[in-house]
Chain A
Amino acid sequence: MAVVIGALRAPEMLARGGLTYEVAGPGGIVNALSLQFLGIHLSSVIGPLVAGQLLHGPGDGALFPGLAAAVIAGAIGVLRIPRRPVAAATGRHAEA
């Protein structure tokens, strides 16, 4: 499981960066990435606190379903982003 998670982390990071750029555009990329890193840092503080409560209460068996639920919730959020045709494949470009 550790190997699978590790192998998926790299493409996840690349996809997240690419999607952030496409959604925010070059005009909003600094703000978008700042907010993204804010989320990462806040979750690195909040996550261990929640994990500690889960370990103390229901036990370590509850951690993995909790983690899976959080990832699925994130994926559902990403799926709600409107799909748009990619210009690079056609050679056409739009300006932000």
Chain B
Amino acid sequence: MGDGLRRCTADRDLRAVTWIALFTETFGFSFIFFLPDLVNNVLGHDERVLGVVTALFSVGGIAGTLVLTGLGEVRWRGWGLMLASAAFGALFLAAGLSGNIWLTGALMLAAGSASVVYDVFVSVLFQTLAPDEARGRVVAVHGMMISGINVGACIVGGLAELRGTRFALALATAGVTLNALRLLPVGGALSRRSSAAKTVAVIGGDG
């Protein structure tokens, strides 16, 4: 794990992807933990509405994967990652601030699509930017970032106790968007390097 972290911090492109993963997983995806509180206590709806809103997030995810699969091997992977992360944070921010449950539902649908675009591109970039001999260790860092969802939930939860759910969610999701916008200039370099990856770790043998 130490070697994977060293590689992720030493390489400028991998460092950018790691920062995006850290912020999006920790402060973006932890939003899901607070959805029941948002729907029930802030917007004043029952569990049936919560079920619909949660389902809309999944439907958005399915729609996003279908669109991505239809697009084939896209080359704008770096731009896609940055924009998906920025959109993901912005959509969650708007959903958290919305006073209308149906607008929240529509925003969750769109956030579901953005989340899956982020998920695909962050996985693709970790895989393609990692050197062959250290791919497992670099991808393990991504796995560690995914575990950050629980850490993020604790941080955002603590903040929600102090300043309210809406304030905590707004701060967390705005952080996701601002971090992605900060790293947007690296998007072009990430796209070029990822699309140029040719080496594969397997040779010979047809089974």
Contact = CB atoms under 8 A, between A and B. Distances in A.
A82 B127 contact: no
Of A13, A41, A42, A44, chain B has the most CB atoms within 10 Å of the CB of: A41
A28 interface: yes
Secondary structure call for the B interface: helix
B166 to A, nearest CB: 27
A44 B57 CA distance: 11
A2 interface: no
Nearest to B65: A38
B204 A30 contact: no
Contacts of B120: 30, 33-34, 37
B143 A95 contact: no
Contact of B128 (A29, A41, A86, A93): A29
Contacts of B204: 84-85, 94
B61 interface: yes
Interface string A48-77: 000000000000000000000000000000
Interface string A1-38: 00000000010011001101110011111110111011
Of A26, A31, A42, A84, chain B has the most CB atoms within 10 Å of the CB of: A26
Contacts, number: 119
Interface string B163-201: 000000000000000000000000000000000011111
B62 A41 contact: yes
B98 interface: no
Nearest to B128: A26
A79 to B, nearest CB: 12
A16 B66 CA distance: 20
Lowest 3 A-B CB distances belong to which pairs? A82-B207, A38-B65, A94-B203
Given A29-B127, A29-B128, A41-B116, 5 more contacts: A31-B72, A38-B66, A83-B207, A93-B200, A95-B199
